[in-house]
Amino acid sequence: MDIFRTKNVEQSIQDTEAPEHRLKKRLSALDLTVFGIGVIVGTGIFVLTGQVAKLTAGPAVALSFVVAAVVCGLAALCYAEFASTIPVAGSAYTFSFATLGEFPAWVIGWDLMLEMALAAAVVAVGWSGYFASLMESLGIHLPTWMAGESPVVNLPAMIIVLILTGVLALGIKLSSRVNLVIVTIKVAV
């Protein structure tokens, strides 16, 4: 068995076009645009910008954003080229399977799964910190075992993960609408 065997583009497209593998296209251009904005404007932007401006970059923080935007744009162009060459679902896994082989694609696929799980945990903990601050400003003090600096169980983070998992399980359109509300609030604030 060759662990570096590749899957050609034609075979990838043919597999994707099979009726049992076809993705339902339910998102509009607005849904996709809002999703992109939500991904770009993450949780940390509100916390880290002030800290970076204070401790490191100073007034050059605006220039730091420009440099970061250029780098992100170059990465986006790479993905756009991949997607136009191999127009099937699967992102980096599919692209690497077609170019590098099965084993590198397997490693990249698992790396993406771990990356997404870690990112979800980090965002949930960040949200929990915001929630604890909000409760504190309202005069409600959460116990430190629940949402303190080193909680035993970060209950607010667990609850938000369970709620959002439930929303995702209910369908892409509902998820998109919830995302629209959250991104609107995030951008407006």
* 87-99 per-position pLDDT tens digit: 887 788 888 888 8
Mean pLDDT of 162-189: 90
Mean pLDDT of 162-166: 93
Mean pLDDT of 47-51: 69
d(CA 122, CA 116): 10
């077609």: which residue's tokens? 98
Check whether 30 has a pLDDT greater than 70.
yes
Confidence of residue 163 (pLDDT cuts 50, 70, 90): very high
pLDDT at position 87 is: 82
Confidence of residue 43 (pLDDT cuts 50, 70, 90): low
Average pLDDT, the chain: 84
Six-digit token string for 97: 């399977």
Q: By percentage, how much of the chain surpasses pLDDT 70?
A: 89
* Cβ atoms 27, 172 nearer than 8 A: yes
pLDDT at position 139 is: 93
How many other CB atoms are found less than 10 A from the CB of residue 93? 19
Kind and range of the H or E element at 108? helix 102-137
Q: What is the DSSP letter of 138?
A: T
Check whether 106 has a pLDDT greater than 90.
yes
pLDDT at position 47 is: 63
pLDDT at position 3 is: 80
pLDDT at position 37 is: 84
Q: How far is CA 29 from CA 34, 36, 46, 72, in A?
A: 9, 11, 27, 21
Check whether 19 has a pLDDT greater than 80.
no
